[in-house]
Amino acid sequence: MKYLKSYKLLTESIKKEKKEVELPNISELKIVDIKTIEGKNKWHSSKDKLIHMILDLGEWEEFPSSKIPEFYQNIKKWIPSLHEHRCSEGRKGGFFSRVRMGTWLGHIIEHIALELQTLAGDDTGFGRTRGTGKKGEYNVIFNYEKKSRGILAAKEAVKVAKSIIKGEKPEIKEIVEKLKKK
């Protein structure tokens, strides 16, 4: 009985500590610009067809994925094919490991854009996300095979990330079908 009482006190204490996280307005996460890069560039020595999206995280800059309730669980459930992404860890599941530990939304959007193109049948896989020098603003760079598809993948990746943040299942199959028509 003594242990049961201690367990109840511990679980009540944990529940009190789990406060509702007040997240920024989803509209703060926005695309500033999208351009294509063709030919030699500073981002990769051999990839010559790149999307360059400037993404403003706004207040989301203060919220890595580990601070967004249910984000890790939902992205794994709704886009399971991202398990193939090795990311900087160099192994399958590396990207999910980074999401679980906490990574920035620009990095996540880069991987979503790549995966949407892959699901549409393209052979993509290179991406980089780096700050622009302005607080909360990032260069999201990734390769494409078809320009119109790459641009659409960038826009749709932001929408997918916003859906996951809101706890809403993104319509991945519909997005992939739209990309295939580009």
Chain segment 14-26, per-residue pLDDT in tens: 444 445 678 999 9
pLDDT of res. 69: 96
The domain spans of the chain are: 31-180
- The whole-angstrom separation of Cα 31 and Cα 19 is 31
What are 56's two structure tokens? 């403003």
Measured between alpha carbons, how far is residue 60 from residues 55, 74, 122 in Å? 11, 18, 30
What's the pLDDT tens digit per position in 24-83? 999 999 999 999 999 888 888 788 899 999 999 999 999 999 999 999 999 999 999 998
What predicted TM-score, i.e. pTM, was given to this entire model? Answer: 0.86
